[in-house]
């Protein structure tokens, strides 16, 4: 038997439960007068000796979602599931995956340890910033790569594009879909000021004149990375630029920034607890891919 427990009102939990033909347990949640969070499983007896999938995502309101997810994991664990799987498409804090400046924590690693210690047996996530983060989970984890699906969608609009990673670390994110779809790929040399967060690019020999471009990234937050790279590629003579990203946080003026940097479309996966409505944005459904990966770990 399979039981699904969703983060309160997270649409993905219902979809997963229905596609897996599982029982979804209702969650009662409230906030105490002093601001502390409370959750209660409506039917805890449906957890015992069952495989349980907790479906959550860590954006928006990262801290609240992280803590409430931990409470759900603990509530489930207290009722003796035979296996506890956490499906968390977006892992917040994953970018702080090392000590960049002395005195910093490794936040990404801490989140992994919290999930493991709370009782998660298997962790499934989508395109985590760097797979090295998952080593801190110290258990079975699956990083579902979806850039091939995003690039496939972008190909509706472009002619034989070059797939570009906005920095060397993201090269695999570009090379995988490029190889799948028989496209050229390359990367840019990005620098980020660790204090101001500002992004700049070093010159690098890259032939994009007259070519359409798909920039592939994991996260669009302020839009600075994509806006800078799009501007640079268009200046080098690129024809059209489309962006494909797994997690579109798009904070503040991000969309305006992308629009004014000449980005034609923003192709996103639906990995967050919110959706942005804008003429530039198109979402790609990745639920079948998640089901495929879930089925493997459930078996």
DSSP 206: -
Which of 142/170 has CB closer to ligand R5P? 170
Q: How many CB atoms lie under 10 A from the CB of residue 97?
A: 19
216: β partners: 244
Is 57 a binding residue for ligand R5P by CB under 6 A? The answer is: no
Is 217 a binding residue for ligand R5P by CB under 6 A? The answer is: yes
Taking CB under 6 A as the criterion, the residue among 219, 243, 261, 267 binding ligand R5P is 219
Of 190, 256, 257, 296, which is the active-site residue?
190
Taking CB under 6 A as the criterion, the residue among 77, 83, 95, 289 binding ligand R5P is 95
Interface stretch with ligand R5P, choices 70-78, 216-224, 265-273, 283-291 (CB under 6 A): 216-224
Measuring CA to CA, which residue among 291, 252, 237 is closest to residue 89?
291
Measuring CA to CA, which residue among 33, 82, 22 is closest to residue 55?
22
Minimum distance, C-beta of residue 147 to ligand R5P, in the bound complex (Å): 12
- Residue 190 annotated among the catalytic residues of the structure: yes
- Residues 140, 202: Cα–Cα separation, whole Å: 38
Which of 65/129 has CB closer to ligand R5P? 129
DSSP 256: H
User: What are the residues whose beta carbons fall under 8 Å from the beta carbon of 56, sequence distance 6 or more?
Assistant: 6, 7, 10, 65, 68, 69, 72, 86, 87, 88
Taking CB under 6 A as the criterion, the residue among 218, 232, 258, 270 binding ligand R5P is 218
Footprint of ligand R5P on residues 109-168 (CB under 6 A)?
129, 166
Residues designated as active site? 190
Q: Which residues bind ligand R5P (CB under 6 A)?
A: 95, 129, 166, 170, 199, 217-225
């Amino acid at each position: 038997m399979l039981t699904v427990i969703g983060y309160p009102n997270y649409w993905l939990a219902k979809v997963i439960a229905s596609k897996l033909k599982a029982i979804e347990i209702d969650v009662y949640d409230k906030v105490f007068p002093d601001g502390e969070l409370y959750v209660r499983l409506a039917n805890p007896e449906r957890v015992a000796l069952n495989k349980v999938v907790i479906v959550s995502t860590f954006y928006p309101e990262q801290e609240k979602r992280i803590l409430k997810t931990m409470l759900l994991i603990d509530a489930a664990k207290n009722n003796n599931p035979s296996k506890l799987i956490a499906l968390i498409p977006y892992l917040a804090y994953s970018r702080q995956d090392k000590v960049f400046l002395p005195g910093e924590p490794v936040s990404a690693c801490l989140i992994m340890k919290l999930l493991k210690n709370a009782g998660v047996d298997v962790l499934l996530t989508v395109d985590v910033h760097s797979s090295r983060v998952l080593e801190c989970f110290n258990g079975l984890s699956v990083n579902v790569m979806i850039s091939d699906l995003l690039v496939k969608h972008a190909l509706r609009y472009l002619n034989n594009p070059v797939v570009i990673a906005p920095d060397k670390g993201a090269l695999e994110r570009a090379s995988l879909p490029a190889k799948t779809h028989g496209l050229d790929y390359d990367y840019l040399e990005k620098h980020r000021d660790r204090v101001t967060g500002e992004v700049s690019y070093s010159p690098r020999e890259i032939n994009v004149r007259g070519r359409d471009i798909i920039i592939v990234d994991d996260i669009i937050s302020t839009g600075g990375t994509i806006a800078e790279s799009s501007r640079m590629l268009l200046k080098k003579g690129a024809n059209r630029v489309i962006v494909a990203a797994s997690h579109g946080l798009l904070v503040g003026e991000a969309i305006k920034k992308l629009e004014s940097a000449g980005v034609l479309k923003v192709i996103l996966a639906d990995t967050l607890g919110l959706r942005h409505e804008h003429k530039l944005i198109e979402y790609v459904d990745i639920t079948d891919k998640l089901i495929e990966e879930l089925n493997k770990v459930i078996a």
